[in-house]
Amino acid sequence: MSFLWPQYLWWLLVVPLLPALYLWLLRRRGKPALRLSSIAVARQAAGPAWRKHIPPALILLALAVLTLALARPIARVTLPWTKSVIMLAIDVSLSMRVSDVQPTRMVAAQEAAKSFLQDLPRDIDVGLVTFAGTAVVAQQVTRDRPSLVGAIDGIQMQRGTAIGSAIVVCLAELFPEHGIDLSDMLFGSQRPAQSLDKQGKTPPKTFEPVAPGSYKPAAIILLSDGRRTTGVDTLRAAQMAADRGVRVHVVGLGTPDGHLTAGEGMAFYLQLDEATLREVARMTGGEYHQAATAEALRGVYQQLGSKLQTETRETEVTALLALLAALLVAAGTTLSLLWYGRVA
């Protein structure tokens, strides 16, 4: 535990003086004359001797807790994220038709993604990016789970696999102020005419690279069979994510010897490229999972969900201590009124 105002901890030296002051006041009180026919009756009326010290003890303890709260203590506690965003990036290339994961890689991915959304806390925002020959935002960041499920069910497979482009699009959604533009990265000065009109836009915000995995409010979950054929270089995009501290958790779907039941000449592109996917996860501080079956894929998503739900962080606990002190005062006052009809 640390303190924002440690200089006020000196007041704790006064706390031990409070019990001494209490005892001194007890001794200083006069002894009123009592005319009772029996000492037993007097003892019964007063109750156990120790009971009269409980209310003052609770109030003194409350003062000690308030003194500690005055220094504004900070403790490491596990809390839900106050603002959390998960970007799901799902490969929709034709290679996802392979049936080494039953019934196909694509269907298994869709079902696992929907199961993941169902288990995810409702206060976590989720966005969906699909990628094949290029990457597009299929559903902007939202907490509307039915809209996300509809976007997942509406996936249409296409040619090509642009893994790096998918990561770039996810980063553009997470950091709109950074001015990340996929067209600029792909075409530069030769970018399509519709992307040339940038007048009136806010200039990109400069940023200093941070440690990989240090940006806690967001993460990317990338699901692919991992063989890039077009788009931004995968490791270049991974470096962009690492510089922004965004973790990319990668799910490699399929088996290294994936194949189609029909067709020839595509075997190389249907094999799971574990080396590249593992490197993406390593560079960004994320994790790599290989899911060769639909059941394993669901398990991977469940593991990721549990890790992305909470975070251990340093949090000021002054309010908690103040609440505890208030409860102690209330308890001491209530007991004193119940037992003696007055405040101790």
Domain with residue 177: its CATH number is: 3.40.50.410
239 and 303 share a domain?
A: yes
141 and 68 share a domain?
A: no
97 and 148 share a domain?
A: yes
Alpha-carbon distance of 2 to 65, in angstroms, equals 15
What domain range is 12 assigned to?
2-29+43-77+314-340
Alpha-carbon distance of 296 to 253, in angstroms, equals 10
pLDDT for the residue 38: 53
Contacts of 81 (CB under 8 A, 6+ apart): 123, 124, 216, 217, 309, 310, 311
Residue 35 lies in a domain: no
177 and 259 share a domain?
A: yes
105 and 241 share a domain?
A: yes
98 and 58 share a domain?
A: no
pLDDT for the residue 274: 87
124 and 268 share a domain?
A: yes
324 and 301 share a domain?
A: no
Let me know the angle formed at the C-alpha of 215 by 213 and 209, rounded to the nearest 5 degrees: 80
Q: Which helix (H) or strand (E) holds 125?
A: strand 125-131
pLDDT in 10s for each residue of the chain, 344 residues: 788 888 888 888 888 887 888 778 777 765 554 455 555 544 555 556 667 778 888 888 988 898 899 888 898 877 665 568 899 999 999 888 888 788 888 998 999 899 888 888 888 899 999 999 999 999 999 999 999 999 999 999 999 999 999 999 999 999 998 889 998 888 875 555 444 444 445 566 677 899 999 988 889 999 998 788 899 999 999 999 999 999 999 998 876 665 554 444 555 456 778 889 999 999 999 999 988 776 776 777 777 776 676 667 778 889 989 999 999 989 888 888 887 776 65
Residues linked to residue 80 through DSSP beta bridges, in sequence order: 310
Number of domain units in the chain: 2
pLDDT for the residue 194: 46
Give the distance, in angstroms, between the CA of residue 283 and the centroid of all CA atoms in the same chain.
20
284 and 176 share a domain?
A: yes
Alpha-carbon distance of 126 to 260, in angstroms, equals 32
Residue 191 lies in a domain: no
283 and 152 share a domain?
A: yes
Alpha-carbon distance of 333 to 267, in angstroms, equals 79
pLDDT for the residue 12: 83
8 and 142 share a domain?
A: no
Residue 271 lies in a domain: yes
Residue 21 lies in a domain: yes
What pTM value is reported for the model?
0.64
145 and 281 share a domain?
A: yes
Residue 291 lies in a domain: yes
Give the distance, in angstroms, between the CA of residue 66 and the centroid of all CA atoms in the same chain.
31
And the tokens for 327?
């409860």
